[in-house]
Structure 1
Amino acid sequence: MNKLNQFTALTLAACLSLTFISCEQEDNKNDNSTMLLGLFTVAEAAKSCETAGSTLTLSTPVEICNPAGGAGVHFVIHDLSNAFSHSVIFSGGYKSKDNALNGPTAGNVLVNNFNAFQFWMYDGRSTSGSPASAIRYEPNYAASSAVRVNTGLTASELPIAAVTDTQCDAFVAAATNCKLNKNGGEKKTFCLDVTQTTSGPSRITLWLDGKNGANCSVKSSLTAENAVVHKLPSDFANNTAPLDTRAFYLAAAPAGTNSGSVSFSKITVSTETAIK
């Protein structure tokens, strides 16, 4: 009987030891999994950043954040609205935000013979009365060599806030056309790929959220086929140098008697393009 009790006690002790060892191994496994998950989360977070929303007064560009984990190549401008400034300009390749509204001259861009890029949305109602927008890629400071690609977006598709007839009347010659275009698209969200290269121009692809099935919140929905503008490096044949900096800016540009502002809810930036 005593031998049986001893055997039982030894068996229980062995089982408990195995249980403790198993639990310890499981705890170590869980700790390792938690650590790996934490590292993965940190690595993923480093691939993106966010510039907080704000209202920009005329000629006061905001610098857009750059992710800690690498160069920003995909941008989403959320809830953009132009409250009667002359134009909205999203630009890259400039030395600083103080130069971002100017033409790309030797004093404005970072390195000689490098390019500047702009996506601008022209209110137009103070002059022609008709809004417009385009992608502009300008090499080597030469305006004559600039490639300008009109987006073809209409007033209702552009982020242009509504104006009153009274505001239009202030533009005299353009008043009639201004009234025809006084109702713009209000708030709009755009997303862009602006690829990074070591030589030659970037691929530039622009989408309007909700147009042609594009969803700026879902990268997999963004394709070359549903883009508003999709330009390959070969489309900028007169460019021989890359954008020299990954610094990008958003600004409200004045002209004449225009007075207004530009607002957005946030700008998100990613190190990964939508189109691979």
Structure 2
Amino acid sequence: MKTLYKFSALTLAACLSLTLVSCEQEDNKDNNSTVLLGLFGVMEAGKSCETPGATLTIGTPIEICNPAGGAGVHFVIQDLSNAFSHSVVFSGGYKSKDYALNAPTSGNVLVNNYNAFQFWMYDGRSTSGSPASAIRYEPNYAASSAVRVNTGLTAAELPIAAVTDTQCDAFTAVASTCKANKNGGEKKTFCLDVTKTTEGASRITLWLDGKNGANCSVKTSLTAENAVVHKLPSDFANNKSPLDTRTFYLAAGAAGSNSGSVSFGKITVSTETAIK
């Protein structure tokens, strides 16, 4: 009986020991999985960043965030609205935000060929009476060399807040056309690919959220076919160098008697383009 008791006790101890080893191994597996998931989360978080929403006064550009994991190449500008400033300018390639509203020159853009990129949305109602928007790639700091691509977006599709007849009357020469475009498109969301290159121009693709089935919240919905503008590097044949800096800015521009502001919900930046 004593022998049987000893055998049972030893067997139980062995089983408990194996169980504890097994549990320890499982705990280690769990810990390793947790660490791996944590590292994966950090890596994923490094692929994007957000610039919180703000209201920009005339002539005060803000710098847009850059992800910790690399250069930003895809941008989502949510709920953008131009409240009667001259223009909204989204730009890259400038030395600092202090220069981001200026034409590219050797003094305000960095090295190489002083390349700069702009997506600008012109209110227009104080001058021509009609809003407009375009993509501009400007090499060699010479405006005559700029490649400007009009987006073709209408006043109703641009992020232009409503103005009153009284405001339009202040621009006597274009008062009637100003009134024809006074309602604008209020808040709009845009998304862009501005690819990173080591030589030559970027591919530039622009989408308007809700147009042609594009959904800026769903990258897989964004294609070359439903883009407002889709320009390959070869379309900027006069531009031989990449953007000098991958820092981007958003600004409200002034001209003449224009006064107002630009607001946006937030700007999300990603290290991965929508079009692969």
- Tell me which residue corresponds to 2:232: 232
Cα pair 2:106 2:114 within 8 Å, conserved: no
- Tell me which residue corresponds to 2:82: 82
Count of residue pairs the alignment pairs up: 276
CA drift of 1:218 comes to: 1.1
Letter aligned with residue 260 of structure 2: G
CA drift of 1:5 comes to: 2.2
- Tell me which residue corresponds to 1:26: 26
The 5 Å alignment of 1:140-151 reads 140-151=140-151
- Tell me which residue corresponds to 1:171: 171
CA drift of 1:99 comes to: 0.8
Distance, in Å, in 2 between the alignment partners of 1:127 and 1:140 is 29
The 5 Å alignment of 1:46-61 reads 46-61=46-61
Letter aligned with residue 52 of structure 1: P
- Tell me which residue corresponds to 1:14: 14
CA drift of 1:110 comes to: 0.7
Letter aligned with residue 81 of structure 1: S
- Tell me which residue corresponds to 1:243: 243
- Tell me which residue corresponds to 1:122: 122
CA drift of 1:143 comes to: 1.1
Moved more, 81-90 or 107-116: 107-116
Distance, in Å, in 1 between the alignment partners of 2:220 and 2:2 is 72
Structure 1 residue matching 2:162: 3-state secondary structure: coil
- Tell me which residue corresponds to 2:187: 187
Cα pair 1:219 1:274 within 8 Å, conserved: yes
CA drift of 1:6 comes to: 2.2
Per-residue CA deviations over 1:43-100 (Å, capped at 9, x if unaligned) read 1111111111110000000011111111111111111000000100000011111111
CA drift of 1:112 comes to: 4.3
Distance, in Å, in 2 between the alignment partners of 1:50 and 1:167 is 35
Per-residue CA deviations over 1:192-245 (Å, capped at 9, x if unaligned) read 110111110000000111111111111111111111100000000111111010
Cα pair 1:133 1:151 within 8 Å, conserved: yes
CA drift of 1:7 comes to: 2.2
CA drift of 1:115 comes to: 1.0
- Tell me which residue corresponds to 1:197: 197
Distance, in Å, in 2 between the alignment partners of 1:6 and 1:184 is 91
Q: Which consecutive unaligned segments of at least 5 residues does structure 1 have?
A: none
% same residue: 85
Letter aligned with residue 256 of structure 2: G
TM-score, normalised to structure 2, is 0.98
Per-residue CA deviations over 1:158-207 (Å, capped at 9, x if unaligned) read 10001111111111111111111111111111111101111100000001
Structure 1 residue matching 2:19: 3-state secondary structure: helix
Distance, in Å, in 2 between the alignment partners of 1:270 and 1:24 is 40
Distance, in Å, in 1 between the alignment partners of 2:211 and 2:192 is 14
Distance, in Å, in 1 between the alignment partners of 2:200 and 2:214 is 28
Distance, in Å, in 2 between the alignment partners of 1:114 and 1:8 is 85
CA drift of 1:144 comes to: 1.1
TM-score, normalised to structure 1, is 0.98
Cα pair 1:114 1:242 within 8 Å, conserved: no
Q: Which consecutive unaligned segments of at least 5 residues does structure 2 have?
A: none
Distance, in Å, in 1 between the alignment partners of 2:22 and 2:157 is 62
Tell me whether 1:211 sits opposite 2:211 in the alignment: yes
Cα pair 1:202 1:233 within 8 Å, conserved: yes
CA drift of 1:114 comes to: 3.1
